[in-house]
Amino acid sequence: GSVVVLNKWGSWCPPCVKETPDLVEAWAQIQAMEAPVTMVGLNFRESPQTGAAFAERSGMTYPSLSDEDGVLPLELQGRAQATPTTLVIDAEGRIAAAVAGPLTTATLVGLVEDVLTDDAVAGG
């Protein structure tokens, strides 16, 4: 019943590294909204240890799953081919927004606000 932000990333990916501070800031702003939103990273095609080390170094404040084998994006309706990709999934489990490439804080917060508004209008 909550909105989910899923960010596919890897520490080997320069645009991912560049966007991480923006994602951390966006997550802080989203948490301040006190809305039903969860954010999770999907560390793509690298060891859990390498991903965890990067997450700690970069101050990542949201959890991140490891996908060392690179199979989880196959479950995302082909909407997470690029790295990075960020999906915003509405409360009904539908992909409401997909952005291939790095995001800014303002863009991610705006997408989440739009999905929350759409869910509220739809009675979600």
Structure confidence by residue, pLDDT tens digits, 49-75: 999 999 999 999 999 999 998 888 777
What's the pLDDT score for residue 45? Answer: 94
pLDDT of the residue at 27: 98
The residues of the chain scoring below 70 in pLDDT are 123-124
- In this prediction, residue 79 carries a pLDDT of 83
pLDDT score of 76: 83
Which residue, 84, 5, 17, is CA-closest to 50?
17
Question: How high is the mean pLDDT of the chain?
Answer: 94
Tokens, residue 93? 């489990």
